Amino acid sequence: MTVSADYQRLTAAESQSGLPLVGQLLAYAATGAPLGHDNRQFAWRPEGVNARQFQWAVDGGLGPLLHRATRDCADVVPTAWREALLSADLTARVRHGNLVDSTLEIIEVCAGLQAGATLLKGISVSEEFYPAEHLRPMADIDVLIPAHAYASVEAALLECGYGRLNHPAIDGHHHGAPLRHAARRTIVELHTVLFRSDSPLCERLLFSLPNVLRRSVRSLYHAMPVKRLSHELQLAYIASSWFNDLTQCKVHPSFVASLLDAVYLLSACRQTLQWKKMLEWLDNDMAKASLYTMVTYLPRYGVEPLSPADLALLASAQRLVGPIQLRMIHRMLDRHLIGGRPWNFAFPPPVPGRYSVSQQFRKKILSRLR
């Protein structure tokens, strides 16, 4: 993909102060732009701001990707960092092998019980879009199954060496107690819906189970039949779950992974995504606003922008994010998520809908009904 004008302007404007390391990783994922040779962007010094940004990237699970991005310029990386990145890469390869084994086992169990499994989040996009699967950090395996099959699938997995982890019982939660395999140390979350019932993302039909299953597609995972979300629904889900996490948990380095998911998906599928048809069934206000905010943000790091027609269509379809709020959200992402500065303020970070009168009114009504 070509480097966008937005990214070129950003690079030129920040060449003196330095493009954050995570920003360079996003640009590497989008364009293959090499890291390490332009010291005006990142000085590769193991102290001060450089050390903070490096640690932020590592804490976000981006060590393997950073190892790959610097393999042709390792001479500029401090020795201690090179060793840390190599260790992170080797560890991720071993861990991902265990994740693959567990995922194949889950698919086999679901097939035996005639409970169709749909892969979600990292375990799906890592194999479908990333240049190497272990580059996508993930804490667990997320699988969507029909609600009526939950008990039988869980029981079968418990017989396969999994055990339940402590998990509070919450009405309307979107998955049950996480299951941990004793030998592999992998964690599985069996979802029956995509979001909690009290989330604004559950309004309308978009993320309802029947609609999700209808818009899932047959696929293969390491040669085993399985289902995944369609590319259009996958992108909407990535954006929605990303801002849902930001809403609930403020800013955390692990949230960069969702940006990388979107970068790799758009790099692979941008020319085939059917934006007009997608917006016809994208009936959730929060999802539309989240998608709009994400796709207008990524071009500054090298992702090719949407066509003016598609962008105008998406902008007009959403009602929660105006120009001022869009700039506020993008600025927050630049400074904190990409720049590696934790959010230590008493008030929450700006996200789509946070300053929407209708959204605040809705939250007050729901709080009174509980």
Q: 252-288 pLDDT, tens per residue?
A: 999 999 999 999 999 999 889 999 999 999 999 999 9
Global confidence as pTM: 0.89
CA angle 228/104/160 to nearest 5° reads 130
SS3 216: strand
> In this structure, what token pair is assigned to residue 6?
């937005």
205-259 pLDDT, tens digit each? 899 888 998 899 999 999 999 999 999 999 999 999 998 888 888 899 999 999 9
DSSP state of 197: T
Which residue segments constitute the domains of the chain, with CATH numbers given?
Answer: 5-369 (3.30.460.40)
- At 250 the pLDDT is 85
CA dihedral sign of residues 275, 132, 261, 145: positive
CA distance 59 to 48: 17
No. of H helices and E strands in the chain?
15, 7
Q: Buried b / exposed e across 348-363, counting CB within 10 Å, b at 16+?
A: ebbbbbbbbeebeeee
Residues of the chain with pLDDT under 70: 1-18, 36-41, 168-174, 355-370
CA distance 263 to 268: 9
